Amino acid sequence: MAHLNSTSLFAVRRSAAVIFIGLVISLALGGAASAPAVTLLLKDGRTLTGELGQVGGVAEDPLAPDPSAGGVALTPIVVIDDGLRRIYLHKSSVREVLDESAEPSIRIRLKDWQNVAERGFSLGSIGAATRVTPFNEYGRRIFETLTADGPIAVVQGVTEVTPVYTRVQGLRADPRTYVWDQRLATSSIPRDTLERILQNAVPRDDLDARLQVVRLYLQAERYRDSRRELEAVQRDFANRPTATGVNFADEIRTLRRLSAQRLLDEIRLRRDAGQYQLAATLLESFPAEGVPGETLRAVRELLDEIDTQREQREQALQSLRETAKRLTEPSARAVADRIVNEIAARLTPATASRLTTFRRLVSGDTLSAEELSAVAISGWLLGSNNAVTQLPLALQLVRVRDQVRIYLGDDDAAARDAALTGLLESQAATPERIADLLRRMEPPLPLVAAADSAEGAAPSLPDAPVADPVVAPVRGQHELQTDVAGRIVRAVVQLPPEYDPLRAYPTIVTLGAIGVAPERQLDFWAGADRPGAGRVGQATRRGYITIAIDWARPDQRRYEYSAEDHAAVLRSLREAMRRVAIDPDRVYLTGHGDGGDAAWDIALAHPDAWAGVLPFLARADRYCGWYWQNAEHVAWRVVMGELDGNKLKINARELDRYLRPRFDATVVEYRGRGYDPLSDDLQQAFDWMGRKQRGAPPEEFEVATLRPWDNYFWWIEVEGLNEKSMVAPAAWPPARGVRAAKLRARKYGGNKLSILGKTEKLTVWLSPELVNFAEPLEIDWNGRSLVPRGERVEPSIEVLLEDARTRADRYRPYWARVTAP
């Protein structure tokens, strides 16, 4: 009798135990041997499932016999192989090993159906594809690429499909046969293509084989496809004795429930990404057929929550308007009306918390109209917890914000000086309040009118900076230009749906390989443009801003490790931060090929700017080997293909350095893949980015530098580094005996900072995250005291604003600086 399993298609028995990671790896592996599939829970919350291995370095084979001959092998690196990729981590990054007893992964094998090449020419390295035909209904395609001997064409065929990966192997062909075992993410194969392949591979009159396809889709969490296939099986096997043991109705109901839960999870993701209107629309049209009551109740609760929050915003706005009308002084009324109009245009779920204190107090009768207006205005500008009840102070804060905006956005030094003078004369302008203003104000420079403003993007305010309207070629796509060494560097920015300039967005900065247009990098991260819909890829779905920088000169052939290359990226990012609502604590630098080389080097040279770095298909060359210590305070995800020029072995020394305690590094190698974009990694990359943020400046760090422009690290900036340690890119490689300049910085108890490093000039940047401005400060530089004993360093509005203007980081500006000599 055919059946789905011993109980139900969906029955999974699971037992999990928390096991000491070092012990379980040692016992389970016995050194470097492989083990049955397990699930690892990492300290950052990720879960990885696959066969577990352990190696001493990434270039080692986890399946190779232990060469230690009875000795204790040093194998601190964990390898998880899920059939699609090998993931390398230091074992200290693992929180728990989950011992699972679950239904094995479905494997549908087509090898007997394909004429697999067992002998032939071996492909040790595979370059970029020049042409790849789509898979036909038999799972075959032609892959064309260039080699040192000229162009080749490889006939490939699908030989195995699992929920995680699809195995594609070289087939026998004339005039040449190539042996190649490649793995693709099953999720990357279009649904229609996969369906046609499976329909031809699985006998249509074999119930068990057909149910295998149902299980495959189920384990891949493609619940709609699983239900469609199960419904087809039900139709095809209606009234057949072999199907009497299958409760189709119950299984279809379960699949509907899983599909509904998946849709509900997607709605929550869109809501959390700031796509409130889309989330509400999806909830209002949520399908009810076959959906269990608990899911429909959750939908109703979300709709009620949306309605309640909307009513609260409307009530707060109405109360604010009525309160402002009761103001009797004309000038106060005029300023209040201006802010009320601003709030009416900008009040969203993302900004509603600014009026929390006002909403709480307006229902009582203890405060006057002047006091309530002050609470609303100051709460809107500074945050609800910083609201004040003095109306004159609140009105001054409006003027303070206007002057701050002028200072940050005006190219004219005289205009900035005038704005600074006004701020210094204002009693409302304090470093604390200006810092709060900076976090909550719009970007100081304008962005062209958003093409998707009709679909929920917040409209521009009457008093906000404006620009000549430009029609974007793609919905939400804009172009920025930055001057670098006399040439214009182009950056293409893709905004997420319902973009709100008062909401801070995670941001991807992507660098393409030389010759690849930045728009193609947007296609990779945010999806290709669809007429009438715009980009609908992962960055769009998850609410990320994507910035693709055309960083290379037209005549450039490779990444040059130059000041110009660095400036093209860093200046473009800062220009974008002045115009777009970027969360500076969630900026992720990535690149492919030459762009990956650039991302790797720039992240090591300027580690304070990034929450994470994702080099794809990259090489850690030149300065990277000297700067490896700089990687400690940045999260790394290095992605490569197994057949991309042996890059795992080439990068092994640097990767092994990162895969150690205190570092946060993940190395991913896709099996059988060459130099291709590796879009299979997108889902995992976004899951990884969603767990990484830039924190407060480290209290202790040691960095290396070989270039004079690599001179700024968190809270220290230097000039006049030892010339013997400086090596220009044109003078590479370094002469024998050259040593990188080292800079060490540390915070001690008692409000003391210590800096060690040979340099002619030092600037120490100070913020409340690092020091207590209310207490005496001690700064020691190579044994020399930079602050007189017992004295404090006072915060400076000028320093704070100039730092925010030049670095464009409005979230973590420095409030003071001490310079020597």
User: Taking phi first (over 0 means left), then psi (-120 to 50 degrees means alpha), and beta for anything else, what does residue 440 get?
Assistant: alpha
| Residue position matching structure tokens 């009234």 | 239
**Whether residue 762 is found in the same domain as residue 686:** no
In-domain check, residue 1: no
Burial call 651-677: b when 16+ CB within 10 Å, e when fewer: bbebbbbbbeeebbbbbbbbbbbbbbb
Rounded (10°) angle between helices 391-409 and 431-440 = 70
**Whether residue 464 is found in the same domain as residue 432:** no
Q: Name the β-bridge partners of 765.
A: 817
What's the pLDDT band for 19 if we cut at 50, 70, 90?
very low
Strands 150-161 and 165-170: antiparallel
**Whether residue 543 is found in the same domain as residue 645:** yes
| Residue position matching structure tokens 């590796």 | 678
DSSP helix/strand/coil, 754: strand
Residue 66: its pLDDT value, please?
56
204-236 per-position pLDDT tens digit: 999 999 999 999 999 999 999 999 999 999 999
Residue 289: its pLDDT value, please?
86
Query: What whole-number distance in Å separates Cα of residue 748 and Cα of residue 753?
Result: 6
| CA atoms within a 13 Å half-sphere pointing along the CA-CB vector of 194 | 25
What's the pLDDT band for 588 if we cut at 50, 70, 90?
very high
DSSP helix/strand/coil, 266: helix
In-domain check, residue 2: no
419-442 per-position pLDDT tens digit: 999 999 999 999 999 999 999 999
**Whether residue 112 is found in the same domain as residue 144:** yes
Mean pLDDT for the stretch of residues 691-706: 97
Mean pLDDT for the stretch of residues 614-640: 98
Higher pLDDT, 71 or 147: 147
What is the four-CA torsion angle of 44, 50, 54, 56, rounded to 10 degrees? -70
Query: What whole-number distance in Å separates Cα of residue 49 and Cα of residue 41?
Result: 9
* Residue ranges making up the domain that contains 530: 453-694
What's the pLDDT band for 463 if we cut at 50, 70, 90?
very low
**Whether residue 571 is found in the same domain as residue 489:** yes
CA 159 to chain centre: 34
In-domain check, residue 9: no
What's the pLDDT band for 247 if we cut at 50, 70, 90?
confident
Query: What whole-number distance in Å separates Cα of residue 307 and Cα of residue 532?
Result: 29
The domain boundary residue, chosen from 75, 98, 121: 98
DSSP helix/strand/coil, 381: helix
CA distances from 622 to 125, 619, 735 (A): 23, 9, 13
Q: Are 350 and 274 in contact (CB under 8 A)?
A: yes
**Whether residue 128 is found in the same domain as residue 160:** yes
Residue 68: its pLDDT value, please?
52
**Whether residue 186 is found in the same domain as residue 59:** no
Count: domains in the chain: 5
The domain boundary residue, chosen from 98, 126, 158: 98
677-696 per-position pLDDT tens digit: 999 999 999 999 999 999 99
Mean pLDDT for the stretch of residues 356-371: 94
Residue 468: its pLDDT value, please?
44
What's the pLDDT band for 18 if we cut at 50, 70, 90?
very low
94-136 per-position pLDDT tens digit: 999 886 655 678 999 987 789 999 999 998 899 999 999 999 9
- Which residue from 531, 406, 398 is spatially nearest to 475, judged by alpha carbons? 531
CA distances from 758 to 33, 167, 721, 723, 742 (A): 48, 55, 6, 10, 8
The domain boundary residue, chosen from 387, 417, 440: 440
Task: Tally the residues of the chain.
Answer: 821
**Whether residue 196 is found in the same domain as residue 113:** yes
Residue 451: its pLDDT value, please?
40
Lowest mean pLDDT among 305-314, 440-449, 678-687: 440-449
CATH of residue 55's domain is 2.30.30
Residue 69 carries which DSSP code? T
Residue 595 has pLDDT above 70, yes or no: yes
**Whether residue 525 is found in the same domain as residue 654:** yes
**Whether residue 146 is found in the same domain as residue 168:** yes
Mean pLDDT for the stretch of residues 507-513: 99
Residue 238: its pLDDT value, please?
84
Q: Are 540 and 527 in contact (CB under 8 A)?
A: yes
**Whether residue 564 is found in the same domain as residue 683:** yes
Mean pLDDT for the stretch of residues 334-344: 97
End-to-end Cα, the chain, rounded Å: 87
User: Taking phi first (over 0 means left), then psi (-120 to 50 degrees means alpha), and beta for anything else, what does residue 258 get?
Assistant: alpha
Query: What whole-number distance in Å separates Cα of residue 569 and Cα of residue 636?
Result: 18
Tokens matching residue 532: 């009438």
In-domain check, residue 579: yes
| Residue position matching structure tokens 């950052």 | 44
Residue 458 has pLDDT above 90, yes or no: no
Query: What whole-number distance in Å separates Cα of residue 441 and Cα of residue 100?
Result: 49
**Whether residue 498 is found in the same domain as residue 623:** yes
Q: Are 287 and 261 in contact (CB under 8 A)?
A: no
Residue 808 carries which DSSP code? -
In-domain check, residue 12: no
In-domain check, residue 169: yes
CATH of residue 546's domain is 3.40.50.1820
